[in-house]
Structure 1
Amino acid sequence: MATSVKLDDDLKSRIQHLAEARHRSSHWIMREAIRDYVEREEKRESFKQDALRAWEDYQENGLHLTLEEADTWLAKLEVGQDVKIPKCHT
């Protein structure tokens, strides 16, 4: 499927210079840039949806960890201890 995108002269020139420096085509540079952007934005949207679900869950049941509890748990993981996540509470 072919798609066209209108680019201003400055951006076209920048893409061409980058393509030459990388020994790639302008088409390859643009395709990679779009792929990277879409993947990053999909991850961002997934993170946002996870956060919204977590907030909704918290509003329904009040279960949570305090910052200190989470910090302590993460510090133990960081030094290689095999510890389970603390139990959530209200």
Structure 2
Amino acid sequence: MATSIKLDDELKSRIQHLAEARHRSAHWIMREAIRDYVEREEKRESFRQDALRAWEAYQENGLHLTSEEADAWLDKLEAGEDAEQPECHA
């Protein structure tokens, strides 16, 4: 699928300089930039959707962990301990 995009002269020049420095084509630089952007935004949207689902679940059942409980659990995991996730409570 061919797609065209209008870029101002300054951005075109910056892309061309970067392409030359990286021994790549300007097309490659733009394709990689768009791919990276889309992947980052997909992850951001997934995180946002997960947060909304968690908030909805909390509103329905009130189950949660305090930040202290979550931090203590994460500290154990970071230290390499095989720690079970704490039980959520109301």
State the TM bucket, normalised to the shorter chain.
over 0.9
**1:75 and 2:70 matched:** no
Cα deviation per residue 1:17-70 (whole Å; 9 max; x = unaligned)? 000000000000000000000000000000000000000000000000001111
Amino acid corresponding to residue 84 of structure 2 in structure 1: K
**1:47 and 2:47 matched:** yes
Whole-Å Cα distance in 1 between the matches of residues 53 and 68 of structure 2? 22
The secondary structure found in structure 1 opposite 2:54 is helix
Name the count of aligned residue pairs. 90
Whole-Å Cα distance in 2 between the matches of residues 42 and 71 of structure 1? 27
What TM-score, normalized to structure 1?
0.99
Measured on the aligned residues, the alpha-carbon RMSD in Å equals 0.4
What TM-score, normalized to structure 2?
0.99
2:25 aligns with: 25
